[in-house]
Structure 1
């Protein structure tokens, strides 16, 4: 799981604002990242650098985002739209704030429910460059 550690490190280094959502029901992971990026370019050009990370649990998928102060509104906007257009059956916010310690605590708590599926991608996120 060295890639998961790299995602966690990237989340700790990116901006101060963070949000975690739990997605349930039918979840289209291929559309999740692609549609978020498209929506940002069209509706939220003020969101510049950010990192996102997702992983599977038995109940669904946990998605976390970290970035600048405009990110939280953009993610909320996207999650509402994602449910409407069928990217996820439901999306519940489980954390939103500026405190890195609380964010990382919540994320680590959520990671205890990580449940990989054999022969299926079980986690991912923003593209990580070479170390």
Structure 2
């Protein structure tokens, strides 16, 4: 049986609940192991896992280029030729080769405006210096 022991019951400051009799012999809890096995470990339960059957990725090896073993000298020559070759990404193409005069003018105007835009920091710095000089001149005139 359980009893409710309250101290200072008039104010209701704290209450505790305790067992007045010891737990039964053999422990306080009994597990129904058959129910646990049936609930948590059924034979046909897959726990949400899926097995995905996929074929292997097909890859056909190009055997036409495979000519068998290559000698060390031929391999060294191929490596040297590849090293000396300029990659396509680095090759510089002149942008103004196929442009009409109107397009060339438009391109030059664009480049000029781009330089002005990226040079804005220097322009602001120069303007501040001019403003500081003009303020100094104004102060000199006031004296």
Normalising by the smaller structure, the TM-score range is under 0.3
Whose RCO is larger (CA < 8 A, sep 6+)? Answer: 1
TM-score by length of 2: 0.17
Looking at secondary structure, tell me which structure has more strand per residue: 1
Indicate the structure (1 or 2) with the bigger Cα radius of gyration.
2
TM-score by length of 1: 0.18
